[in-house]
Amino acid sequence: MGENKRRMLAGDWYIADDDELAEDTRRRIALCAAFNDETASGPERRKVLEELLGSVGEDVGIRPPFHCDYGSYISIGARTFINFNAVFLDAAPITVGADCQFGPNIQLLTPNHELDTERRRAGWENAAPITIGDNVWLGGGVIVCPGVTIGENTVVGAGSVVTRDLPAGVLALGSPARVVREL
């Protein structure tokens, strides 16, 4: 593994446009294209997911199209359902628990971009992991930002932007998402 990729996975600043990462990107492009192919059968898609993702539990359902940065840093627990148009940017690990339900147009975004204009122009970024507990429901259009953990049995309302950790067993709404009550 090259130094740039090591920095990326450690959460340090790295250059996103790197030859080693480009090779991983080409792999992901081919696998996502196969998964998103409208003529692919359920068993064919399952086989692609097993090759694309770091781990995928039993009876996971993902409706295409599905997009990710690398795929290999994503783990999805058993019986989780992910609706159309999910985007998982996995420059850091994304861990999704079992029995989760995700509405359409979900975005799980691990990268952070440099605020300094020169460094941003040069392509520097870092990433922080996202962890989603068991039995979490994310309504349509939810965006989860870098470094966020969402506790088990939590519900996040449609269109919410989750910028900080949410505890287990709550309903959170808004942008930024705020806990409105316990469940």
pLDDT score of 16 = 87
CA separation for the pair 105, 141 (Å, rounded)? 5
Does residue 146 contact residue 128 with C-beta atoms inside 8 Å?
A: yes
CA separation for the pair 165, 145 (Å, rounded)? 10
The active-site residue, picked from 12, 55, 59, 113, is 113
Query: Which range of residues forms the domain containing residue 85?
Result: 3-182
Q: Per residue of the chain (183 residues), give pLDDT as tens.
A: 889 999 999 999 999 888 889 899 999 999 999 999 999 999 999 999 999 999 999 999 999 999 999 999 999 999 999 999 999 999 999 999 999 999 999 999 999 999 999 999 999 999 999 999 999 999 999 999 999 999 999 999 999 999 999 999 999 999 999 999 999
67 an active-site residue?
no
CATH number at residue 73: 2.160.10.10
The number of folded domains in the chain is: 1
DSSP state, 166?
A: B
pLDDT score of 45 = 96
